[in-house]
Amino acid sequence: MTLNLLATSIYSKLSGDSTLTAMLATTTSIYSIRAPEDAVYPYIVYSLFYGGVLNINPSDLREPSYFIRAYATTAKVAGNIQTQIATLLHKGTITVTGYTLIASELTEELEGDEITDAGRSIYMRGGVYRFQLDS
């Protein structure tokens, strides 16, 4: 499935960057869909946002978008992590087995904050990244 291949490629791209992983609680603080309850801040979560097969030509042309975001105890740290993610993915390269990357771009930037049950502020900074792939 293309989405599994792309998700694996996103993880590899993010986890393979030492500048980015140095900003995280651990080198494995990158999670698909959601972080575990006991995850330590800061960390990254990525998940499919929208998109799929375009059905405009005979090939397997796809355009999925992923919501990739950082969570941290300060807005500055979350923002710094998001900046590094954008450096890696916006107009960057990513290898997806069986596909050619046509484009990788940041299309939306998002931010938010929440108060945990323990009364702690958590900040989110992230973006929607669109990937165009063809087989």
Domains defined for the chain, CATH in brackets: 2-134 (3.30.2000.30)
Q: Give the global pTM.
A: 0.92
* Among 38, 8, 24, 10, residue whose Cα is nearest residue 130: 10
Give residue 40's pLDDT: 96
| Residue 33 burial (10 A CB sphere; 0-12, 13-18, 19+) | exposed
pLDDT digits (tens, 9 = 90+) for 113-129: 999 888 999 999 999 99
